[in-house]
């Protein structure tokens, strides 16, 4: 299999994987749009925890899609 074919098959994501990426993008866009200095402590903690979870999920997704 050529390098190009390998990238094409690795690039084929399922609908669920695409949804996971979309949720991560939305959470990141939301975090970027927030004025973090104005968030109450609890809100900031929740935001950080959400982003931490999404980061972990994206790393899991990378592992899923790059397995040999």
Per the CB < 8 A criterion, the answer to whether 24 and 54 are in contact is yes
DSSP helix/strand/coil, 4: helix
pLDDT per residue as tens digits for the range 40-68: 999 999 999 999 999 999 999 999 999 86
- pTM passes above 0.85: no
Residue among 59, 67, 47 at smallest CA distance from 21:
59
**Dihedral (Cα; 65, 10, 28, 43), 10-degree rounding:** -10
Residue 44: CB atoms within 10 Å: 14
pLDDT at 54: 97
> Where do the structural domains in the chain lie, given as residue ranges?
3-66
More confident residue, 10 or 1: 10
């Amino acid at each position: 299999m050529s390098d190009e074919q390998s990238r094409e098959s690795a690039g084929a994501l399922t609908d669920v994987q695409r949804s996971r990426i979309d949720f991560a993008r939305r959470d990141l866009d939301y975090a970027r749009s927030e004025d973090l200095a104005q968030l109450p402590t609890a809100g900031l903690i929740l935001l950080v925890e959400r982003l931490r979870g999404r980061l972990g999920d994206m790393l899991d997704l990378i592992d899923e899609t790059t397995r040999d």
